A and B are shown apart, each in its own frame.
Chain A
Amino acid sequence: MNPEYFVETNSLSKIYSSGKIEIAALRDVNITVKESSFLGITGTSGSGKSTLMNLLGGLDTPTSGNIKVQGKEISKFDPGELALYRRFQVGMIFQSFNLLPSYSALENVAFPLLFADVLKAERIKRAEEILDKVGLLARKNHRPSELSGGEQQRVAIARALINNPRLLLADEPTGNLDSKTSMQIVQALSELNKNHGLTIIMISHEQDLLNEFADDNIHLRDGAIANKNEMTSEQ
């Protein structure tokens, strides 16, 4: 494996077996992502995009193959090391935001710091700072249900970045948003990528957005990377 890559997978496979039926969600996937680059992932529903994302985010473990992030082989991590990896190395955002409905925006953003042993006063201070950066400080006491979809996703981004990870994984972050808001969110991510050197891997249905902002694109089909020709022929 080449140490110059920030994220690198090698023959990454994930097989789900429910009963006697085995579903190959990912098959021999090799991807490489340079530091501070923006990778776009497309693919039809069920093509294994989320599966790949969860493996990269340390939420799941591969059936075979391996994953290297910043030179560390996370596919060999034990559950404790994976928790630390999720806590400090990577931030994740989702189509359904996954905010805690009973928590305020501020509490949601500060939540990861709870597991990082940060004192309460410090947690609030840091959460306010980062909420300010996504332009939602004025809404800090609002519950997710009192915020628009775009605002909720910005809160989720703030939460993903609170522990200063170098890698952000976005699983269809614009899937629940209208096109104007989607544009704003992707612009915000792009700004983090360009100005702060954040490495971003983003899944999206919207090829136009990816074409505009991503440095590179891959297309998944039936759990495997499809070549460019197939990709274009599908468009």
Chain B
Amino acid sequence: MRFTDYIETSFSNLWKMKLRTFLTTFGVVIGIGALVSMFAFGKGMQNNVTSTFNELGLFNYISVFPRSAERNQNNSDHYDPDDQGYIPPAKDINQPVRILDEDFVKELSAIEGVEAAFPEIRFPAMVRFNDKENFEMIQALPAQISKTGFIKLREGSFFDSDEENSVLISDSMLRNMGIKDAKSVIGKKLEISTLAFELSIESLPNILSFLQGKGLPFSSKNYQFTISGVMELTGMSGPIAMRTNILIPAGISEKMKKIQITSISDIFQSIGQPQGYSMVGIKLKDPKYIDSVKKWVEDSGFNTFALIDQLEEIKRMFIFMDLFFFAIAMIAITVASLGIVNTLVMSILERYREIGIMKAVGASNGDIKKIFLFEAGLIGFLGGVFGLALGWIVSTIINLIANQILSGQGVPHMSYFSFPLWLCLGSITFSILISLLAGIYPTIRASKVDPVVALRHD
């Protein structure tokens, strides 16, 4: 038999039992539809994560922090800035501690592949704007670094110099304050009140009053800023270093009286310790320098954190997610393939005499196997194509609804599903393969029909 004959024959055979073919194929459509939309979701989420990382240049980014600030002895590479309230372990006295100071930052800047190195300065402060007062973590950043792609501006502009009294605020802060129009806040005034420990000789009265239970050894100072731009916080949490609502120029920050803090541990660190930055950020020219720069920094006695390392873990997580989805979809597909087995076995029983006739007029066992296998494959092909279509339609609808709901909560519009070519072609191929697999048993049965029995006159 010719290939076209197989296709024509199986088409016309399936057409003769339209309803059964439809129902069987529909089972496959559901299974493949589920598989496709789940994979599309997994792939879509993965794309969102990767593209956000890429967009923000996070793969080019290494954070450096002192060994003494280790949060986790067992897992020193993984620094979690959210892990606040953790009290650092007692320090290893034998190990000399290098300080993250300006000299080190300069040294870093000179290494091959480093585009820029800058201290990450954070401190808590009270922010007054629009008659409202909020406690915020303030982030200081050199002006030239702010423009390297970490931050996307919705409105306004970056700082021009490190010395100007400008501030960038996040759109989520505006949203929390109920301000819709980002443009309207550009040029407005904003006041930052800092807190500082008074541990110097001059502040002795403060300490004494603290010890007498009359108040904390803090002093407070107010600074005036002008809003120069509104930052966009992405749907994902954004870069860790930049996860802040308020960004000010580094030069100004140095002049402010404040506690530098990234976590509670810094409070302890700042008492009676050689001063230094609590964290330094490195922006690389290319992610390929990650390993060499990381090694250099670690050899110099510091800990590093690079998001690209996390990406591997995230990717592993996505593989598990895909496997989980695959397992669920496979249940549907198993049911569908049992449907195919059932349909074909029924069809063989009904076409018993026809198979006998085929053999009598010279069909080989192989011919008969192929005829039934083509029917199975055709069900698989149709199920795959329509399943893909169903998956696409369902995903599109879910995507629309999800975006509708989430946009009300300020999450930017995203594609939660992705349909790469390999998924489209792969799902159809997979459907055909599964159907052929389901067709194996019925096919062998068909070829074993005894023509003498099938043709007997009764």
A residues with a Cβ closer than 8 A to B are: 50, 54, 57, 59-60, 79-80, 83-84, 86-88, 92, 94-96, 98-100, 102, 111-112, 114-117, 119-120, 159, 163, 171-172, 175
CB distance from B289 to the nearest CB of A (A): 64
* CB-defined contacts of A54 to chain B, threshold 8 Å: 451-452
Q: Does B111 contact A (CB under 8 A)?
A: no
Q: Does B93 contact A (CB under 8 A)?
A: no
* CB-defined contacts of A117 to chain B, threshold 8 Å: 1-2
Chain A to chain B contacts (Cβ below 8 Å), 27 pairs = A54-B451, A54-B452, A57-B360, A59-B360, A59-B451, A59-B452, A60-B451, A83-B363, A86-B359, A86-B360, A86-B362, A87-B361, A87-B363, A94-B455, A95-B457, A96-B457, A98-B353, A100-B354, A100-B357, A111-B361, A114-B5, A115-B358, A115-B363, A115-B367, A120-B5, A159-B361, A163-B362
Bound-state Cα–Cα, A36 to B365, Å? 31
CB distance from B212 to the nearest CB of A (A): 105
Bound-state Cα–Cα, A117 to B3, Å? 10
- In the A-B complex, the 4 residue pairs with the closest CB atoms: A87-B362, A83-B364, A112-B361, A86-B362
* CB-defined contacts of B42 to chain A, threshold 8 Å: none
Q: Which of A83, A95, A175 contacts B365 (CB 8 A)?
A: A83
* CB-defined contacts of B455 to chain A, threshold 8 Å: 59, 94, 98
Bound-state Cα–Cα, A73 to B456, Å? 25
Per-residue interface assignment for chain B, residues 1 to 27, with 1 indicating a CB less than 8 Å from any chain A CB and 0 otherwise: 110110001000000100000000000
A115 touches B360 (CB 8 A): no
CB distance from B11 to the nearest CB of A (A): 14
Q: Which of B263-282 contact A (CB under 8 A)?
A: none
For B353, B361, B367, B452, the residue with the greatest tally of chain A CB atoms inside 10 Å of its CB is: B361
Bound-state Cα–Cα, A95 to B456, Å? 9
Q: Which of A50, A100, A175 contacts B456 (CB 8 A)?
A: A50
Q: Does B356 contact A (CB under 8 A)?
A: yes
Bound-state Cα–Cα, A171 to B456, Å? 10
* CB-defined contacts of B5 to chain A, threshold 8 Å: 114, 120
Bound-state Cα–Cα, A83 to B353, Å? 17
* CB-defined contacts of B4 to chain A, threshold 8 Å: 120
Which single residue of chain A is at the shortest CB-CB distance from B12? A102
Q: Total contacts A to B, CB within 8 angstroms?
A: 73
A83 touches B457 (CB 8 A): no
* CB-defined contacts of A84 to chain B, threshold 8 Å: 362, 364
Bound-state Cα–Cα, A115 to B9, Å? 12
Bound-state Cα–Cα, A111 to B9, Å? 11
* CB-defined contacts of B358 to chain A, threshold 8 Å: 111, 115
A115 touches B457 (CB 8 A): no
Bound-state Cα–Cα, A102 to B357, Å? 13
CB distance from A21 to the nearest CB of B (A): 17
Bound-state Cα–Cα, A41 to B360, Å? 20
Which single residue of chain A is at the shortest CB-CB distance from B361? A112
CB distance from A190 to the nearest CB of B (A): 23
- On chain B, the number of residues with a Cβ less than 8 Å from chain A's Cβ atoms is 25
Bound-state Cα–Cα, A29 to B16, Å? 44
B residues with a Cβ closer than 8 A to A are: 1-2, 4-5, 9, 16, 353-354, 356-367, 451-452, 455-457
B364 touches A80 (CB 8 A): yes
CB distance from B18 to the nearest CB of A (A): 13
Which single residue of chain A is at the shortest CB-CB distance from B8? A120
Query: Contacts A83-B359, A83-B365 known; A60 to B452 CB distance under 8 Å?
Result: yes
CB distance from A72 to the nearest CB of B (A): 16
* CB-defined contacts of B356 to chain A, threshold 8 Å: 98
Q: Which of A79, A92, A159 contacts B364 (CB 8 A)?
A: A79
Bound-state Cα–Cα, A87 to B367, Å? 12
CB distance from B410 to the nearest CB of A (A): 63
B452 touches A115 (CB 8 A): no
* CB-defined contacts of B362 to chain A, threshold 8 Å: 83-84, 86-88, 112, 115-116, 163
CB distance from A77 to the nearest CB of B (A): 12
Bound-state Cα–Cα, A106 to B366, Å? 25
* CB-defined contacts of B16 to chain A, threshold 8 Å: 102
Bound-state Cα–Cα, A102 to B9, Å? 12
Query: Contacts A50-B456, A59-B451, A100-B354 known; A92 to B360 CB distance under 8 Å?
Result: yes
Bound-state Cα–Cα, A90 to B209, Å? 118
* CB-defined contacts of A114 to chain B, threshold 8 Å: 1, 5, 9
* CB-defined contacts of A83 to chain B, threshold 8 Å: 359, 362-365, 367
For B356, B364, B366, the residue with the greatest tally of chain A CB atoms inside 10 Å of its CB is: B364
Bound-state Cα–Cα, A100 to B361, Å? 12
In the complex, besides A60-B451, A79-B364, A120-B5, 15 extra interface pairs with C-beta distance below 8 angstroms are: A54-B452, A59-B452, A60-B452, A79-B365, A83-B367, A94-B455, A96-B457, A98-B353, A102-B16, A112-B361, A115-B358, A115-B364, A115-B367, A116-B362, A120-B4
Bound-state Cα–Cα, A97 to B290, Å? 81
CB distance from B222 to the nearest CB of A (A): 92
Bound-state Cα–Cα, A47 to B432, Å? 49
* CB-defined contacts of B353 to chain A, threshold 8 Å: 98
* CB-defined contacts of B9 to chain A, threshold 8 Å: 114
CB distance from A141 to the nearest CB of B (A): 15
* CB-defined contacts of A59 to chain B, threshold 8 Å: 359-360, 451-452, 455
Which single residue of chain A is at the shortest CB-CB distance from B363? A115
* CB-defined contacts of B354 to chain A, threshold 8 Å: 100
CB distance from A212 to the nearest CB of B (A): 24
Query: Contacts A50-B456, A59-B451, A92-B360 known; A115 to B365 CB distance under 8 Å?
Result: no
* CB-defined contacts of A50 to chain B, threshold 8 Å: 456-457
* CB-defined contacts of B451 to chain A, threshold 8 Å: 54, 59-60
Which single residue of chain A is at the shortest CB-CB distance from B357? A98
